[in-house]
Amino acid sequence: MAIALGTAAPDFSLKDQSQKDVKLSDFRGKKNVVIVFYPLDWSPVCTNEHACFVNDLKRFDQLDAQVLGLSVDSVWSHKAFAEKMGIIYPLLADFQPRGAVAEKFGVYLADKGITGRAIAVIDRQGKLAWFKNYDIPAVPDLKEVSEALARIQ
């Protein structure tokens, strides 16, 4: 069950590709947050999705938003993937317990053991401002994500 728009996003702390703890609450009062839930590092669609974010990162910076990638992959997989793709934003390892954070947002696919493809926009107050699920084989439209961010500025 996905969380409702306007409600507080569940806080979490996960390690990124540099073994740094990243907490959602660290951004409260400072930045909007775009959480990119994706199935797996290295898959073709996920690779294309992150290439889009890498190429458009300046637009998200201008909208005062922190991009966070999140999947069930390990820190080590994220590290290799980030280095290969030139990803400088945190990739969070929802690895152990597998999918626990994605489950809080209603996007963990337990039958497949992966995170579904979705994007959540959390405003500076820590509330869910925008959310969309995508089909696994679809690359999300970043224009609609940046438009959602622009509306909450």
Find the farthest-apart pair of alpha carbons in the chain and give their distance in angstroms, rounded.
38
**Is 46 a residue of the active site?**
yes
- Cα-based angle 137, 144, 73 (whole degrees, multiple of 5): 45
**What is the C-alpha separation between 125 and 55, in angstroms, rounded?**
27
Alpha-helical (H) ranges within 7-99 are 44-62, 75-85
**What is the C-alpha separation between 153 and 149, in angstroms, rounded?**
7
**What is the C-alpha separation between 45 and 42, in angstroms, rounded?**
9
Active-site residue identified among 46, 67, 70, 122: 46
Instruction: Report which DSSP code applies to 94.
Output: -
Catalytic residues: 46
